[in-house]
């Protein structure tokens, strides 16, 4: 199964992500979840970024929080709303929201 997971909060969701089993996993950071893509705790990236997945962050939510490309981890790709639609219809079979 190919699964896209929307992460909308900045609490530690690593335990939940570890339990998800998918042949392809995509994590899409939206709302306050964008902080996982940018904020570093004690010089380290968010533990969510250690998951075996493709990472995306919604550009509008980055802008709203005053963050940009320079603030992101290298493995995170900035996407738009239309990119999310393309991912859902072309890359992933199921979606979940955390």
Domain layout of the chain by residue ranges: 2-12+22-97
CATH number of 2-12+22-97: 3.40.1260.10
pLDDT score at 28:
96
Helix (H) or strand (E) holding 16: helix 14-19
Question: What are the tens digits of pLDDT across the range 9-67?
Answer: 887 666 777 777 788 999 999 999 999 898 776 667 888 888 889 999 999 999 999 99
Give the Å distances, CA to CA, from 57 to 26, 35.
11, 9
* pLDDT tens string 14-24: 677 777 778 89
Helices of type H across 49-93:
59-64, 81-90
């Amino acid at each position: 199964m190919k699964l896209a997971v929307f992460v909308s909060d900045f609490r530690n969701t690593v335990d939940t992500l570890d339990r998800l089993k998918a042949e392809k996993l995509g994590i899409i950071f939206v709302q306050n979840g964008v902080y996982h893509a940018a904020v570093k705790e004690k010089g380290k990236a968010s533990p969510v970024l250690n998951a075996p997945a493709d990472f995306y962050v919604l550009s509008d939510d980055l802008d709203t929080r005053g963050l940009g490309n320079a603030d992101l981890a290298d493995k995170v790709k900035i996407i738009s709303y239309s990119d999310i639609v393309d991912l859902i219809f072309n890359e992933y079979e199921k979606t979940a929201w955390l």
